[in-house]
Amino acid sequence: MSKELTHFIGGQHVQGTSGRFCDVTNPNTGEVTGRTPLASLSEMQAAVKVAANAFPDWAATNPQRRARVMFEFKRLLEDNMQELAEMLSAEHGKVIADSKGDVQRGLEVIEFACGIPHLMKGEFTEGAGPGIDMYSIRQPLGVVAGITPFNFPAMIPMWMFGVAIACGNTFICKPSEKDPSLPIRLAELFMEAGAPAGVLNVVNGDKEAVDAILTDPTIQAVSFVGSSNIAQYVYATGAAHGKRVQAMGGAKNHAIIMPDADMDQVVNDLIGAGYGSAGERCMAISVAVPVGEETADRLIEKLVPRVQALKVGPSTAADSDYGPVISKAHLDKVEGYIDLGVKEGAKLLVDGRGFKLQGYENGYFMGGSLFDHVTDDMKIYKDEIFGPVLSVVRAKTFEEAAELPTKHEYGNGVAIFTRDGDAARSFASRVQVGMVGINVPIPVPLAYHSFGGWKRSAFGDTNQHGTEGVKFWTKIKTVTSRWPSGGVKEGSSFVIPTMK
């Protein structure tokens, strides 16, 4: 039965008033399960006003008390893990175990944010000059916002609002309209954890809501994760309106496989990193680059049967390797790329098109696909497919293999598989990619480090979460103070102060 979803503003569920909606479907069945209200400019402005009213008191709340809210929110996430995972899977389609990983990765940023009393500490210099002390402090920006994608409806919102709110900001989350229920549930739990009304708000919408965020003069900073073209638009528009912006875009993540690599481990890792969550991850491995024909042949020999054996099933089945993709439109898009790859001359070794699952014939399922002999001038190599499709690009030498991720327009993640420490060290140092794995297929940094790519994978200078996140969501203020003793000196100085 279809339900009408709401916004969550000022601690309350708020019905949409724009009259515009979009359907929410269960990707396992194709069934419409809800309608998402799409906010108008006036609705977004009303939410911003609520967040602005909540900001002064929240910013004045000491960091230790803000951390206590984070501790309680962490406990509630753990206590409600199963419910959250099931809710996520029902709208996204990823399997329950993967949905729990989605929530857990967000929870780990909340754990990091529990340390905000330490993270917000400034610096102090006593006696910087005669009778002069100097110190710096970090202060929150005000009302800030996050625009989050469909593929991680728990993790990425928490990446953003966890650090932002801990720093003393109030937050507006604009989640994907495809799977909005979980972000709203997170906001409910955040209120239950003790956050004041208006500190975390969820406003559903499409481009109209995005543009309202990017142009509203009250919103001071915006974080975005999505495709590169939209990321560039978000960055340019937000910056043009005087906002601090970080915008994470697309990816084409390579795995370099050296001749000395443990091929069984490589195949295990490629199967998980390439096909997990139906390939709908910005850190998915989508290009395997074996070095040398003999390495490539060994890889293909082991990889083909593993791709053929992938168990595609409903997200609720414990033995499913992965579930459906997010929508019928996305299914058609991914299958269209497979059609294109065949036309471009790549060798399709495993074909996942036309996959049907008994009892779920209307679901958005597709089998794993594997291309060999892909070249760097093919569109299937250049574009982010965002589906269960792995391309093998054969390289003659290490130098040729290492150049591929460096030359690609995307620079999110990359991995190298080798037993050679010198090769790994050289590769990690010189490759023009933001996150590097050495015998690690998905090098997503832990919460106390930071996440961010290079080139068209990221726009802006500051990464997600970690201490980079604290820097992004705060502004630094430096105070120079003088308490002179011995009376006031006569005369004025017209020379700029120095320490000479």
> How many residues make up the chain in this entry?
500
- The verdict on whether 167 is a catalytic residue reads no
Which residue of the set 114, 167, 173, 282 is catalytic? 282
Q: Which two tokens stand for residue 156?
A: 């990425």
**66 Cβ neighbours under 8 A, 6+ residues apart:** 58, 116, 165, 166, 168
Q: Which two tokens stand for residue 129?
A: 């000059």
Terminal CA-CA length for the chain:
76
Q: Is residue 393 within 8 Å of 234, Cβ to Cβ?
A: no
Q: Is residue 139 within 8 Å of 493, Cβ to Cβ?
A: no
What is the DSSP secondary-structure string of 313-334?
--TT-TT-SB---S-HHHHHHH
| Cα–Cα distance for residue pair 443/413, rounded to 1 Å | 7
Nearest to 323 by CA among 169, 15, 3, 95: 95
Q: Is residue 480 within 8 Å of 497, Cβ to Cβ?
A: no
| Cα–Cα distance for residue pair 359/102, rounded to 1 Å | 27
244-272 burial, b at 16+ Cβ within 10 Å, e below that, comes to bbbbbbbbbbbbbbbbebebeebbebbbb
Nearest to 450 by CA among 183, 169, 223: 223
| Cα–Cα distance for residue pair 141/482, rounded to 1 Å | 27
Nearest to 181 by CA among 209, 160, 204: 204
What is the DSSP secondary-structure string of 209-244?
HHHHHHH-TTEEEEEEES-HHHHHHHHHHHHHTT-E
Q: Is residue 161 within 8 Å of 146, Cβ to Cβ?
A: yes
Give the active site residues. 282
